[in-house]
Structure formats: structure tokens, C-alpha cells
Amino acid sequence: MNDLFLRVCRGEAVERPPVWLMRQAGRYLPEYRAIRSGVSFLELCKSSELAAKVSLQPIDILGVDAAIVFADILIVPDAMGVELRFEKGDGPSFPTPIRNRDDIARLRHPDVEATLGYVFSTLRVLRAELDGRVPLIGFAGSPWTLAAYVVEGGVSTAFPRLLAWSYEDPSAVVTLLERLADTTIDYLRGQVEAGAQALQIFDTWGGLLSAERWRSLALPSMQRILESIPAGVPRILYLRNGGHLLEVLADLPVEVLSVDWRVPLDEVRRSCSSVPVLQGNLDPCTLLAPIEVIERETARVLEQGSGGGHIVNLGHGILPQTPVEHAKAFVRFAQGGGSRLVAKPADAALPNH
């Protein structure tokens, strides 16, 4: 029974920081690819048996300190009536995107048990199969991030349609975010009832906004979601590319703030001193380098995170091309007290200039 992760989330002192990896149930694992080869991505999400199986793989293979349910953030708008497709070789797409107030009005506020109950089933299967081995994390996308995809109609690097709309008619965009939040709130409550012991909100694209615009656009629905989560369930907010947003984040009602690799944890700790626990933030590209480099960089993350509660993780999802042995080395090193090693600065090997 390993409850390190939950104890850190509750602000308790622990013997070592727990470790897990964003997207740990994923394509870098041959065992995942074997299951995925027989079904489509959405079939895998919707089969509670298979989804539970791939969620458990990183616990067995890497020995991480937490499980996260296998699902996709984009199933929430799908449940609201914005049909989601994953075409072979392409990313996700929404053939009927949300582009105006009429589109928003057509959004359903669905019964989450009827539309997203398969995730709740996966969670129940997982809690039973984990049997207390490690805690189980549920998750959802932030309204802003979901909106980026449903307005664009698919993936993008800059999501110009949502951004243009947010300049043109910010109150329509806020309405869309609130509608997405309504369903997300039900969905996360359902996840807790089904056994999720902590919840992570992924704000992958909030970093496209300036701090002022994040505050006026993305914050209200985010705040409402965070406040709706039942007391006692730790709330983790992941924000990619948010170095310029630290000031806004400082006041959010979260137990854990998860940041990407660009901002050192000790600096985040200073800027967001009201957030008790930080999560992160090894650059996922580090796991492509040799194991001694992974150890050196992990030691640095442990050192930078050592000033308070710390959950070791990557700064973004693990890359599909990551060698499994490298992911294992990261977990093993982080769990084995790497923090007692002296972190060598990365530029130790640099020539003089």
C-alpha cells in the first residue's frame, strides 16, 4: 500500500517525493501498442476493460507511485454533442466545430453517467484491480483548452479561431467556457464517486493568453471547476507554457500546481508561495538522452523541488519515441533518493566563451 502521492497532496511530510509521468499509459510502451493495435483510440477509451489494462501497465512496468485513468480530454465536448473523430494518422477532429452563439446554444448539458459512464466504469475497475497499491488520479481538460479544439475543429499550434473570437466577442467565449465547465463539473464529480482519489485539470493551451486575458477569459470557469471538487480530493492544475502566468496562478484554489520544464520549480515556489505542492518538471526530451544524463537532470529537478511538497513528473507528456528503459531509469532514480546526489549544473560540460 503506497499512499505517498496522497500524503504529499495533503501537505504531509513524506520519506521521498512520489513520481508518475504524464501520459504514462501511452505509445512508448510496447504493451500499450499491442492492445492499441487491435482497436481504435476511441474504442480503447470506451472499453473499460482495455482502458483499465493500459492504465495499469505503467504501474507494473515502471513502478510509478500513482495511476491515472486512461481517457482523452476531448470526450467531454463529444458528450455535449460536438462529434469527435480520430482519423487514422491524423489527430483528433471535430467536423462540426463551435464557431458562433448558435453553435453554443446547440451544446447539450448531458447526463454524464449516460454519455461518459465508461470512464466511471474504468475507474471502478481500476480501483478494484489496484486494490490500494497506488492512488488513482482522474482528470479533465480545462474549458479554455477544450474550447481551443472545438472552435478550431481540430489540432493547431496557435488556435487562431478561438483567439480571434475571444477578441471579437469575449462574452460569447466566456459563455462557451461556462457551458464546458458545467459538464466538466458533473464529469469530475462522477469520477470522484467512481473512485478517483485526486483530480488533475490539463490547461495545455492557456499559455496562448497574456496574464490579463487568462484572468478575464480562462480563470472564471477554471475557478468554478476547482471550487466544485469535493473537499478532501486534491486538485492538481497543469499549465503548459505558463511562465508568464505565475502571478495569476498564485491565487487559484489548488493543492498542486504542475508546470512545464521551462520554469525552475524553486522559482515557481517563490512566485506561487500559497500553492502547497508543486509537480514536475523534467523536460520530456531529456528521456531521449542517455541514462546518466537523465539521472543528472532528474537530480536537478529533485533539488529545485526540494523546498516544499513535490511530486516528481515530466513537464509535459512522455514522448512516444522514449525508450522504456529510460522511463524506468527516471522513475528508479527519482524514487531512489537522487536528491541526495549533488546536482551537476547542465553547463558543466560547456567550453568557456
Q: Is 91 in the site for a copy of itself (CB under 8 A)?
A: no
Shorter beta-carbon distance to a copy of itself: residue 38 or 345: 345
**Is 235 annotated in the active site?**
no
Q: Where are the alpha helices (DSSP H) in the chain?
A: 4-9, 30-36, 41-46, 48-61, 75-79, 101-106, 112-130, 143-152, 160-168, 170-193, 211-213, 219-228, 246-249, 265-271, 291-305, 324-335
Per-residue burial over 140-171, b = 16 or more CB atoms within 10 Å of its CB, e = otherwise:
bbbbbbbbbbbbbbbebeebebbbebbeeeee
Shorter beta-carbon distance to a copy of itself: residue 37 or 171: 171
The catalytic residue among 10, 32, 33, 36 is 36
Q: Is 131 in the site for a copy of itself (CB under 8 A)?
A: no
Which residue in 262, 270, 340, 344 binds a copy of itself (CB under 8 A)?
A: 262
Shorter beta-carbon distance to a copy of itself: residue 149 or 261: 261
In three-state secondary structure terms, 135 is coil
**Binding positions for a copy of itself, 303-332, rule CB under 8 A:** 316, 319, 321
Half-sphere exposure of 211 (CA within 13 A, CB side): 9
Stretch near a copy of itself under the rule CB under 8 A, chosen from 78-86, 97-105, 120-128, 280-288 = 280-288
The catalytic residue among 23, 179, 235, 240 is 23
Judge whether 24 and 34 are in contact, CB under 8 Å: no
Site mask for a copy of itself (CB under 8 A), range 169-208, x = bound: xxx--xx-------------------------------xx
Shorter beta-carbon distance to a copy of itself: residue 11 or 160: 160
- Rounded CA-CA distance 286/298 in Å is 9
Shorter beta-carbon distance to a copy of itself: residue 10 or 213: 213
Judge whether 250 and 272 are in contact, CB under 8 Å: yes
Using CA atoms, how far residue 95 sits from 89, 109, 152, 166, 314, in Å, is: 16, 20, 10, 21, 32
Q: Is 167 in the site for a copy of itself (CB under 8 A)?
A: yes
The residues that touch a copy of itself, with contacts defined as CB under 8 A, are 157-158, 160-161, 163-165, 167-171, 174-175, 207-210, 212-213, 216-217, 220, 241, 243-244, 261-264, 283-286, 288-290, 293, 297, 316, 319, 321, 345-347, 349-351, 353
Annotated active-site positions, please? 23, 27, 36, 72, 149
